[in-house]
């Protein structure tokens, strides 16, 4: 397993050089085009482990791994978005995210054309965020939610984007609004970094003859998603928001061993039908913010989270509980079937300025299953951890 562990005094000059070039290109573009609007956001996240062998937030694409010392690369990210008004009804949107997890190499998160069919109806074509969760669209935009990160136990789908088409219709009522979205598309992930890391921790931990952990075995996993068709129904009535999403399609999971001769398929490479359901309730009261979300990935897992935050002017303390229980459609080691874990987060957000928030969170991770979900040095299948993280979220 390649580690991105970096101590505070060895921080990223090369990566920021690369990102600065990326920023410069956008600045030049915006200076030349009046119809181009450039905006952005970012989060600088630092974390450490207070107890346990390590903590892994897992999102996105396996990011958020903390083992020892202060880790600043794993979840930090910077993003730029360009909105270009091509014509009265046509807009083009490109959002590029540079993550510390990827050595700040900019990658396309969104890239689509949007056709405004009416004031309440819009068609989008291109690369889009898969809208399966309540917070799918804003997972990277830390300033928009109270937590240091969206509780990742409940946001574990191995694909976050898709290439396709999306049609949204909104109805405004006297008491609130209803938004209905349908979409279709596909996405290939090769390698699938989240699943590769999960399987490495579950099945590929290597120990020497005296029982010391020596590393993770090399594997390669892929997940291909085709014929994805989904819908989202969201109802907002003043302080109450109810949301339901459903996705169906086909997926193909492959697990390869890596040897000097190349990849050797250990299992998988079979197309199977798949379904994903998610429901959430959100209460946005005067001082209290309450949310609960539950989802079901057919034959693979169930997960959930619930949270309460108290908004007191600039301060927002919060608590959340989240859980994940796998049902293992694919199992490499039948003795390690039980993926089951829960997290408790206690945190605080402080708004330094309208566009800047400082957050801290204590995360208590409780591994209740047999399968290790991080390095398991004593090989008991129990990978409990306590982690502390601080973030600075901003937008511009």
Partner 1 sequence: MKTTIMCLVLLLLPMLSRADLVVVVSRDNPQQLTLADIRKIYLGQSSTFSDGAKALPVMYAEGTAERAAFVKHVLKVSESQYIGIWAKLLFTGNGTPPVELQDSVGVEAYILQHPQTIGYLPRELADQRFRIIAELPPAVEN
Contact between 143 and partner 1 per CB under 8 A: yes
Site residue total, partner 1 (CB under 8 A): 31
Distance CA 289, CA 79 (A): 27
Contact between 134 and partner 1 per CB under 8 A: no
DSSP 118-182: ETTEEEEEEEEE-TTSTTGGGTT-GGGSSSSS--GGG---S--EEEEEEEEEEEE-SSEEEEEEE
x-or-dash string of contact with partner 1, 355-374, rule CB under 8 A: x-x-----------------
Write down the residue that tokens 């390590």 correspond to.
54
R_g (Cα) of the chain, nearest Å: 21
Smallest distance from the beta carbon of 344 to partner 1, in angstroms?
25
33-72 residues near partner 1, rule: CB under 8 A: 37, 39, 41
**Of the candidate residues 81, 156, 192, 221, the single one contacting partner 1 (CB under 8 A):** 81
Please, which residue, 66 or 110, has the CB nearer to partner 1?
110
278-297 residues near partner 1, rule: CB under 8 A: none
Q: Which of 359, 366, 274, 279 is nearest to 324 (CA)?
A: 366
| Cβ neighbourhood burial of 353 (10 Å; 0-12, 13-18, 19+) | exposed
Smallest distance from the beta carbon of 28 to partner 1, in angstroms?
22
- Beta bridge partner(s), residue 237: 176, 240
Smallest distance from the beta carbon of 318 to partner 1, in angstroms?
15
Smallest distance from the beta carbon of 13 to partner 1, in angstroms?
28
- Beta bridge partner(s), residue 389: 47, 361
Write down the residue that tokens 């900019």 correspond to.
106
Contact between 110 and partner 1 per CB under 8 A: yes
In order of 160, 197, 238, 309, the CA distances from 283 in angstroms are 25, 35, 9, 10
Smallest distance from the beta carbon of 263 to partner 1, in angstroms?
37
Please, which residue, 144 or 327, has the CB nearer to partner 1?
144
377 C-beta neighbours (distance < 10 Å), count: 16
**Of the candidate residues 144, 186, 252, 360, the single one contacting partner 1 (CB under 8 A):** 144
Smallest distance from the beta carbon of 274 to partner 1, in angstroms?
25
Please, which residue, 358 or 388, has the CB nearer to partner 1?
358
**Of the candidate residues 123, 138, 231, 242, the single one contacting partner 1 (CB under 8 A):** 138
Contact between 312 and partner 1 per CB under 8 A: no
HSE (side-chain half, CA atoms, 13 Å) at 320: 32
8 A C-beta contact, residue 344 and residue 363: yes
228-247 residues near partner 1, rule: CB under 8 A: 236
Contact between 148 and partner 1 per CB under 8 A: no
Smallest distance from the beta carbon of 281 to partner 1, in angstroms?
18
DSSP 201-260: HHH-EEE-TT--EEEE--EEEEEEEEEEEEEEEEEEETTEEEEEEEEEEEEEEEEEEEET
Smallest distance from the beta carbon of 286 to partner 1, in angstroms?
9
CB contact burial 228-239 (16+ within 10 A = b; e otherwise)? bebebebbbeee
Contact between 314 and partner 1 per CB under 8 A: yes
Distance CA 381, CA 369 (A): 7
**Of the candidate residues 120, 190, 269, 380, the single one contacting partner 1 (CB under 8 A):** 120
**Of the candidate residues 34, 87, 119, 261, the single one contacting partner 1 (CB under 8 A):** 119
Q: Which residues bind partner 1 (CB under 8 A)?
A: 37, 39, 41, 79, 81, 83, 93, 95, 110, 112, 114, 119-120, 124, 129, 137-138, 140-141, 143-144, 172, 177, 236, 313-314, 351, 354-355, 357, 395
């Amino acid at each position: 397993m390649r580690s991105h562990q970096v101590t505070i005094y060895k921080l990223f000059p090369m990566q920021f050089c690369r990102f600065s070039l990326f920023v410069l290109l956008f600045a030049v573009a915006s200076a030349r085009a009046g119809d181009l609007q450039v905006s952005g956001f970012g989060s600088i996240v630092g974390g450490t482990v207070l107890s346990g062998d390590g903590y892994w937030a897992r999102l996105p694409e396996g990011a958020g791994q903390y083992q020892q010392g202060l880790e600043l690369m794993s979840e930090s990210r910077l993003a730029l978005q360009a909105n270009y008004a091509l014509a009265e009804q046509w807009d083009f949107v490109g959002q590029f995210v540079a993550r510390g997890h990827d050595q700040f190499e900019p990658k396309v998160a969104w890239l689509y054309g949007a056709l405004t069919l009416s004031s309440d109806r819009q068609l989008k074509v291109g690369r889009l965020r898969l809208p399966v969760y309540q917070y799918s669209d804003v997972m990277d935009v830390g300033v928009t939610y109270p937590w240091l990160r969206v509780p990742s136990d409940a946001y574990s789908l191995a694909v976050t984007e898709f290439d396709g088409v999306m049609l949204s219709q909104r109805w405004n009522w006297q008491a609130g609004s209803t938004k209905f979205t349908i979409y279709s598309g596909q996405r290939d992930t090769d390698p699938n970094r989240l699943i590769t890391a999960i399987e490495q921790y579950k099945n590929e931990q290597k120990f020497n003859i005296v029982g010391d952990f020596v590393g993770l075995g090399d594997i390669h996993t892929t997940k291909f998603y085709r014929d994805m068709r989904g819908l989202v129904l969201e109802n907002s009535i003043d302080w109450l928001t109810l949301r339901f999403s459903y996705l169906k399609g086909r997926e193909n999971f492959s697990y390869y061993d890596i040897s000097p001769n190349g990849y050797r398929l250990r299992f998988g490479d079979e197309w199977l039908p798949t379904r994903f359901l998610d429901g959430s309730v959100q209460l946005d009261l005067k001082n209290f913010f309450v949310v609960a979300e539950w989802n079901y990935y057919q034959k693979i897992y169930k997960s959930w989270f619930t949270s309460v935050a108290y908004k007191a002017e600039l301060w927002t303390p919060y608590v959340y509980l989240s859980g994940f229980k796998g049902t293992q459609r694919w199992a490499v080691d039948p003795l390690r079937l039980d993926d089951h874990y829960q997290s408790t987060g206690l945190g605080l957000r402080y708004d330094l300025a309208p566009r800047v928030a400082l957050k801290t969170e204590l995360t208590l991770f409780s591994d209740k299953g047999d399968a290790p979900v991080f390095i398991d040095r004593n090989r008991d299948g129990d990978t409990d951890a306590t982690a502390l993280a601080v973030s600075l979220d901003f937008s511009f």
